């Protein structure tokens, strides 16, 4: 695996990889692990939005709906320009989830030297993420996230993904950037498949 990771790092440079999936699909878990493996920085739109909501005392995500695009641009996109990220590869967790936002995300990423080289989709069925949701409720391992407390809100997040984010993934696919990974495996197996497929993409791009 070390050889594959080295090849991915060579291909990625200071670029970025954007990871998508349904809620509870493991985006942040896998994204953080990938960032550590690639010596990259990790940026999660959800984490940024929740931090900004706390700072501004303006709750927007507790209904399960995606925040308005203009607020997303104002809150999230400036992170690409942060000086502490200059020259670093980035692993992104669902940055640009509403169809139409992906073009602006790619433009800002490229302008800051972090061209998006791939978009990964962790494929997990709705029934499986609902099972994970109920298991997490029992274990109480998701902290105090308001959008996880109410099952109707969680289901609204699933609906938002299907209506607004699936077209984003279709666009990435049309651009030849989409990498599909089976998210319904052990965490190690998901990570291994993601590395294998990113390695294939790196080899193809570098050849």
Determine the Cα–Cα distance for residues 87 and 48; give it in Å rounded to an integer.
21
Is the pLDDT reported for residue 126 higher than 60? yes
pLDDT digits (tens, 9 = 90+) for 13-34: 999 999 999 999 999 999 999 9
Q: For residues 144 and 6, give the distance between their C-alpha atoms in angstroms, rounded to a whole number.
A: 37
pLDDT band at 200 (very low <50, low <70, confident <90, very high): very high
The pLDDT, as a whole number, for residue 150 is 83
| Stretch 79-101: mean pLDDT | 96
- The pLDDT-based confidence of 98 (bands split at 50, 70, 90) is very high
pLDDT band at 140 (very low <50, low <70, confident <90, very high): low
Domain boundaries, the chain: 2-200
Can you tell me which residue has the tokens 């200071």? 14
Q: How far is CA 122 from CA 28, 60, 131, 144, 173, in A?
A: 11, 25, 16, 24, 14
**Domain 2-200 grouped into CATH 3.40.50.300:** yes
The whole-number average pLDDT for the span 121-150 is 78
Cα-based distances in Å from 157 to 7, 47, 67, 76, 98: 36, 15, 11, 19, 12
């Amino acid at each position: 695996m070390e050889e594959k990771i080295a090849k991915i790092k060579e291909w990625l440079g200071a670029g970025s990889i954007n990871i998508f999936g349904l809620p509870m699909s493991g985006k942040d878990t896998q994204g953080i692990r990938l960032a550590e493996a690639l010596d990259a920085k990790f940026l999660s739109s959800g984490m940024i939005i929740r931090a900004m909501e706390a700072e501004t005392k303006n709750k927007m995500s507790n209904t399960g709906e995606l925040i308005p695009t203009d607020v997303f641009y104002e809150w999230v996109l400036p992170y690409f320009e942060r000086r502490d990220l200059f020259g670093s590869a980035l692993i992104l967790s669902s940055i640009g989830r509403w169809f139409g936002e992906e073009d602006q995300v790619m433009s800002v990423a490229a302008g800051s030297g972090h061209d998006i080289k791939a978009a990964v989709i962790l494929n997990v069925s709705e029934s499986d993420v609902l099972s994970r949701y109920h298991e997490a409720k029992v274990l109480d391992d998701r902290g105090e996230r308001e959008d996880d407390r109410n099952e109707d809100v969680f289901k609204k997040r699933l609906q938002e993904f299907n209506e607004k984010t699936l077209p984003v993934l279709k666009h990435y696919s049309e651009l030849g950037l989409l990498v599909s990974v089976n998210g319904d495996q052990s965490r190690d197996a998901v990570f291994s498949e993601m590395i294998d497929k990113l390695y294939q993409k790196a080899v193809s791009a570098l050849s």
